[in-house]
Structure 1
Amino acid sequence: MSEAVDESFDVIVVGAGAVGENAADRAGRSGLKVMVVERRLVGGECSFYACTPTKAMLRPVHAAHAAQRVRGVAGAHLVPAEVMARRDYWISDLDDSGAVRWLESAGIALVRGTARLVGERLVEVDGTTYRAGAAVVVATGTSPAVPDLPGLRDAKPWTNIEATTSSTVPERLVILGGGVVACETAQIYCALGSRVTLVERGPRLLGRAEPFASSLVAAALAREGVDVRLGVTVTAVSRPEPGGEVTVTLSDGSTVAGDEVMAAMGRTPNTGDLGLDVVGAEVDESGYVVVDDSMRVTSVPGDWLYAVGDVTGRNLLTHMGKYQARVAGDIIAARGAGRATDGPGMRAWADHLGAPQVVFTDPEVSSVGLTEAAARERGMDVRVVNVKMRAASGAGLQADEYEGYAQIVVDESRRVVVGATFVGQDTAEMVHAAGIAVVGEVPLERLWHVVPSFPTMSEIWLRLLEHYGL
């Protein structure tokens, strides 16, 4: 640690992704001086290597599919080079100057480098030490996991980073994993012309989703030409020549050849080199920082250390991380202004009700709250209602022969919806209304009086409640 300590800032946020930006913005609204530290691109993983680029590439796929499902439209097709150009526009050609300008406009200082905690409210960045007058916020996120499978790391696999920035479409792509990243990437590259093989060790794709959602996505991928292999594990990966053919050997004795192999097998928290041990910050068995609902790191005395976003492991979703960041930032701002810290927006209690999520495959899987299995694990008296999406008149108008299902999970003891899943074309925009029902714990009898517009897909709520018996 250098001898001189810079004490110019009240709040130091480590990590300038979307979550860190939110924490910094909210903390600075009461006049606190805020600094963020970033070792890569300001805007983070979501903006450049995850949410934004994948959705930029998937939207043309969805639009082409949607056009083909409506009688009266002909000729919709993809132009791969234009799809990638659209992606490059949305990730600003990996240039973060726009995000940097936003920080400047918000009065937030940026220091580029690698940060490490070296003491109470002390953060060292590449040899310079800063003391936060009020708080430090850890918002370092996660990195793609590349398991120690025989030969995999030597094969230099793609992760989401390479998949979202590649300027070429491999002729053959082998994707290891069956979660959100794997399924979305499989659909993108299959649509762009790759022969895609998807290898998932579990019995189904999207293992945390409702089983019917997994089945519909698997069937759609298979129809489009993805070779979906379930219930098999990778025993070895071989790439004798750099940049050459990759051979993946599976537990059933078969092999799959590809021009690229992608590891889409989970995430690991970016906590290993942060100096958390120096300040006594507790991490769980997976390395995630342990926090309470105020996002305070409970094992560190003094109420000065917070953690938000993926690094906490609570919900590995950008929107939930930003929600947590608003909570932490508001609490820090309130403390700085001498205000109470028990306001209605100052606890991240919605985390525990089940986060909203959209898998942007076609069909989309849009869900919020608890799955049936999770609700039963919590001991709830569960009743499930499942109807075809085409029961809503708006669905049939949206796509001829609309395919998809809607499901609600009801806690019968309270007669409230605790979970909802919609699978089908254009269901992403339906999940927020479901979230209001779940987080607001709206009684079914009151939901009955929320009248859906005709003819829209929201009419599915009426059908669900009718099937329930209202």
Structure 2
Amino acid sequence: MQTWDVIVIGAGPVGENVAERVVASGLSAVIIEAELVGGECSYWACMPSKALLRSGHARRAAAHVRGTGVHEPTGPGAGPDVAEVLARRTSFTSGWDDSGQVEWLQGVGVDLIRGHGRLAGDRVVEVSTANGTDRLQARCAVVVCTGSDAHVPDALAAVSPWTSREATSVEEVPGRLAIVGGGVVGTEMATAYRDLGADVTMLVRGQVLAGQEPFAGELVTASLTERGVDVRAGVTVVSATRDGGPSTPVRLTCDDGQVVEADEVLVATGRRPRTDDLGLSIVGLTDGQWLDVDDTLRVQGAQWLYAVGDVNHRALLTHQGKYQARAAGDVIVARARGTEVLAGQWQRHAATADHRSVPQVVFTDPEVASVGLTAAVAREAGHAVRVVDYDLGAVAGAALHADGYGGRARMVVDTDRQVLLGVTFVGPDVAELLHAATVAVVGEVPIERLWHAVPAYPTISEVWLRLLETFGREG
């Protein structure tokens, strides 16, 4: 039986970061991966999806500044060059070749075994490889970083729908695309595929971007609608058929009797844990479930098992998973060496930010950038709240950034402690505003101190001054 200090199951960005972290501190580590090293984010999610979106964003941005010579595209074939967009997307996935990431693992001293890993005993992992079965022993910890898969409702499973994987790796743009779901994947892919010339219909059970402030979904819906996306909210798909096999159109029937026909259907209705056939009974759990962890990312009831990233269902975002990986890697090292574990709030070994300080960007047009609690969630949690809104288009820097700039900013203030609980920006290119808001929320910077953080003029960041002025006037 081969032995390492730490065994990591899953070589996405999260698993890579855990392994690199422990090796940099002097422990040995091996990663087990059944697919591509680099994981979902590198090949089927973050990177290719943003590459698909970027060309359309850039073209529209130029069209909204007079004098560039670029005009808003209209009519068939007036958008970005589809072949070039797809080629650029493929360049960011390295053609779905992971050799570069394998070289990186080797360079930092992490071993790699290709195969399917499952728990087989106390700190023991069994790996099914092309050459048979290996058994590995961990001296210190086993870390599950297997991520999540798209959830496909039973009503759609029989028609071979796209998930985010197919949507980001496509080689040909369909003429008609139906999207079931109105969350991040649904709205981003509606944006991208409309730019690429598809007729897009969105079927949304509730509201668009339901987890965000309500105005975010409203502004994104208005923009998508203006650009020709058919957004239908409040409908549920109850059946789907393809009469002539996978290459024929799909017919979607909704609970209100509407029927939508499309060449392809993208299911964007949430995620499920990738924990099937993981051997969780070894620690008294059941395969196929999310893994509940404490703030040091250790699985509840298991002293040697950790679950990091999507698989623990705390915050299904790559950057948040990498944040967890840093905490998990460092605490594994501390426990291995018998040094102090710093697991209190905001300490080195605790992923405190997962609870109420998570930043996220939705790369629609307009973008949605948010961190912390929405007003509704803050009130539900019992906080005394004041909400301050401001028209982003009224900021001088925004007016310079784009002709007819439209957007909105909101800060949610805890009036008892006079600190920010949450911030949301909606507008073109607001993603780069988000980290300042994240620092303010995580650092619990008092409102009176924020007055001294002077935004440069003329930038869109001047919205901070306008929000504070509005807060002062209304107070």
So what's the TM-score if we normalise by structure 2?
0.95
Q: Secondary structure at the match of 2:109?
A: coil
Cα distance in 2 between the residues matched to 1:407 and 1:218: 18
On the 8 A contact 1:391/1:463 being kept in 2, the answer is: no
Partner of 2:75: none
Corresponding residue of 1:86:
88
- Name the structure 1 match of 2:296: 294
Q: 1:141 aligns to what?
A: 147
Q: 2:8 aligns with which of 13, 23, 47?
A: 13
In 2, the alpha carbon distance for the partners of 1:280 and 1:16 equals 25
TM-score normalised to the size of structure 1?
0.96
Distance 2:339 2:379 in 1: 41
**Partners in 2 of 1:282 and 1:27 — Cα distance?**
28
Match of 1:418 in 2: 421
Structure 2 Cα separation of the partners of residues 282 and 293 of structure 1: 21
Residue 95 (structure 1) aligned with residue 101 (structure 2): no
- TM-superposed deviation, 1:114: 0.5
Shift in Å at residue 350 of structure 1?
Answer: 1.1
CA distance in 2, matches of 1:235, 1:258: 16
Q: Does 1:132 align with 2:138?
A: yes
Amino acid at match of 1:197: T
Mapped contact 1:282–1:289 kept (Cα < 8 A): no
Distance in 1 between residues matched to 2:261 and 2:354, nearest whole Å: 41
Q: How big is each residue's C-alpha offset from its partner over 1:120-169, in whole Å with a ceiling of 9 and x where there is no partner?
A: 100000121100011100000000011111xx212100000000001000
The reply on whether 1:57 has 2:61 as its aligned counterpart is no
Residues 341-420 of structure 1 aligned to structure 2 (within 5 Å) = 341-342=341-342, 344-420=347-423
What is the distance in 1 between the residues matched to 2:239 and 2:192? Answer: 26
* Match status 1:319 vs 2:319: yes
Moved over 6 A (4+): none
Shift of 1:467: 0.2
1:244 aligned to 2:248? yes
Aligned counterpart, 2:120: 118
Q: What secondary structure is seen at the aligned counterpart in 2 of 1:130?
A: strand
Displacement of 1:354 after TM fit? 3.0
Contact 2:309 2:325 in 1 (8 A): yes
Aligned to 1:442: 445
Say if 1:187 and 1:361, in contact at 8 Å, map to a contact too. yes
Distance 1:254 1:378 in 2: 38
State the 1:75 CA deviation. Answer: 3.0
1:162 equivalenced with 2:166 (yes/no): yes
State whether residues 30 and 113 of structure 2, in contact with CA within 8 Å, keep that contact through their aligned partners in structure 1: yes
Deviation at 1:281, TM superposition (A): 4.3
In 2, distance between residues paired with 1:462 and 1:288?
42
What is the deviation of 1:337? Answer: 3.5
The unaligned stretches of length 5 or more in structure 2 are 72-78
Contact 2:183 2:209 in 1 (8 A): yes
Q: State the alpha-carbon separation in 2 of the partners of residues 277 and 455 from structure 1.
A: 59
Contact 1:309 1:324 in 2 (8 A): yes
Matched letter for residue 269 of structure 1? P
> Residue 35 of structure 1: which of 30, 45, 52 is its match?
30
Provide the identity percentage. 54
Q: Aligned to 2:62, what secondary structure does the other structure show?
A: helix
The structure 2 residue matched to 1:44, chosen from 22, 25, 39, is 39
Distance 1:390 1:165 in 2: 36
Counterpart position of 2:228? 225
1:67 equivalent in structure 2:
62
Determine if contact 2:357/2:438 at 8 Å carries over to the other structure: no
Question: For 2:184 and 2:420, how far apart are their aligned partners in 1?
Answer: 25
**How much has 1:272 moved relative to structure 2?**
2.3
CA deviation map 1:68-94 (0-9, x unaligned): 111112236511111111100001110
Structure 2 partner of 1:175: 179
Moved more, 163-172 or 24-33: 24-33
> Which AA in structure 2 matches 1:29?
A
Q: Which amino acid aligns with 1:194?
A: A
Q: CA deviation at 1:335?
A: 2.7
Residue among 196, 203, 208 paired with 1:205: 208
Structure 1: any 5+ residue segments left out of the alignment? none
Measured after TM superposition, the shift of residue 353 of structure 1 is 1.8
Cα distance, 1:282 vs. partner? 7.4
In structure 1, the partner of 2:74 is none
Question: Aligned-residue CA RMSD in angstroms?
Answer: 1.2
C-alpha contact 1:118 1:279 (8 A) present in aligned 2? no
> What is the DSSP-based 3-state SS (H/G/I as helix, E as strand, rest coil) of the residue aligned with 2:433?
helix
Shift of 1:412: 0.3
Deviation at 1:280?
A: 2.2
What is the aligned counterpart of 1:186 among 171, 186, 190? 190
